[in-house]
Every structure is written in structure tokens, then in C-alpha cells.
Amino acid sequence: MSGTAALAHTFERCRAQKRAALVGYLPAGFPDQPGSERACASLARHGADIVEVGVPYTDPLMDGPVIQQAAHDALAAGFRFAHLLRCVEAVAGAGAVPVVMSYWNPILRYGVERFAADLAAAGGAGIITPDLIPDEAGSWVDAASTQGLAPIFLIAPSSTDERLQQTTDACRGFVYAASTMGVTGARTSVGSGAKQLVSRARSATNLPVCVGLGVSTGGQAAEVATFADGVIVGSALVAALGTDHQGGALGRLTEELAEGVRGA
């Protein structure tokens, strides 16, 4: 099954269960490489349907302090792309669908076609590129298509109707809707523009629309799950792993979030 097909199957299964998908994010290499593989697999075992494996980067423009610090620690410990691919394999082995979240420059340095081939071989389904717009993504879209991977781009409340249409047309797998402007990070409430953004996206595409940036509790996950096809959680999970490297806090939070999307 191709990566794009695996994502489609996951959202179909969630729809059949009358719920949203839970998408969890963790950076590769944090708190260390063996620990990150265990943590990524733990997300799958505790209820995440899709796991975003992040590529640590030295200039993470969209990331808040929690993810920035985790990326710094991973890079300081010697993160390499081989570590990323082992995390992807761990997610797939644990029964969830792995996607990668990466800024564009590390992929460009690694080699676009090489990265697409290696990601597909590891069981990856696609990649989210927060700083790459469809207009400049021709090489990646071609490489992804060749390997059956899903290119996933971001829309935001500030996206014009024209830009939103262009972006959703270029997406495969799902559309990533950033619920609020600004960097990643847990918030006390989800951005008020999230529901409107999902509605706008649905007028432009039949792809599932997943909402990220700000969700940190089961209650917030349940709220977003009432109007989105998927709920994306990142900083709160990274923070949980940071406080307990053995993964107990991570597992408990993942279960809380999974109960939230299922209870909505």
C-alpha cells in the first residue's frame, strides 16, 4: 500500500468509527535516539493514528521553545537522517501511519529523490513541509508522486481564498490547518479561527483537514474533533516526554488525547 493510500485508509477507518484521527508529533533523536524510537512507537500504542516524526533543525522558524529545545538537544546528541528513518520504521511497526515534518533545507541537502526513496522504504506515508509552498515544490511533488508519498502543505487563517485553493490542490493525504498565526506551543484555548479555516478548506477540497498548533488536553482535542478530520498535537507531547524520559507521562497524555477525539 502506498503512503497516500495508507493515509486515506486511516481517515476512512476513523470516519467509520465516527471520530477524528489523532495525529501526534515528536522530534527524532529526543531525548536520545533509542528513547525517541521508543517514544514514537509509544504514541502509536497509546492511541495515535498518525505520528509526525520531526526533523531537528538549527533554524526552526515555526517552532516554539519546547520543540526548539528538543531539536537542539537532538542535534547536540548527533542526530542524523538514519535516526529519523529508524523512528519512521518504529511507528510503522507499532501500527500507526508515519509522516515526517521537516523544514525544506535539510531535505534539499540530503537529496530530494534520495529522501523520497528512503522514506518510502522505511514505511513513511508523506511529509509536512511548513516552510515550502506549492509554487516552489515541483521537485518534491514529483519525487513524492514517484514513491507514492503524500506532500502535505499548510494553510492558515491568513491564507487568501486563492492561496488556500492552490495549497489544497497540491496536497495529498490531508491538509494541515494551522489554527492560529504564530509558532507552535500548547495554549489554554484553541484559536477561534480554526473552525472557520476548516470550513473554508472544505469548500476547496475533499481531502481530510487536520488542525494543529495549540491543542494540549483531551478537552481541547474533543473540541477540535467536532469540526476537523484530525487533531494534531505536538508541543504538549514533547513536553511530557521531556519531563519523563521513560515515557509514562507521554503514554498517559496520548491516551487522554485519544479519548478526547473518540469521545467527541
Residues acting as catalytic residues: 52, 63
DSSP secondary structure of 22-37: EEEEEETTSS-HHHHH
Query: Strand ranges (DSSP E) for the chain?
Result: 21-27, 50-54, 97-101, 126-128, 150-152, 154-155, 175-178, 209-212, 230-233
Distance CA 3, CA 125 (A): 3
Strand bridging mode 50-54 / 209-212: unpaired
Buried b (16+ CB within 10 A) or exposed e, 94-126: bebbbbbbbbbeebeeeebeebbebbbebbbbb
What is the four-CA torsion angle of 26, 27, 30, 33, rounded to 10 degrees? 110
3-state secondary structure (DSSP) of residue 167: helix
Distance CA 13, CA 10 (A): 5
3-state secondary structure (DSSP) of residue 86: helix
* Residue 59 neighbours by CB distance under 10 Å: 10
Q: Which residues contact 82 (CB under 8 A, 6 or more apart)?
A: none
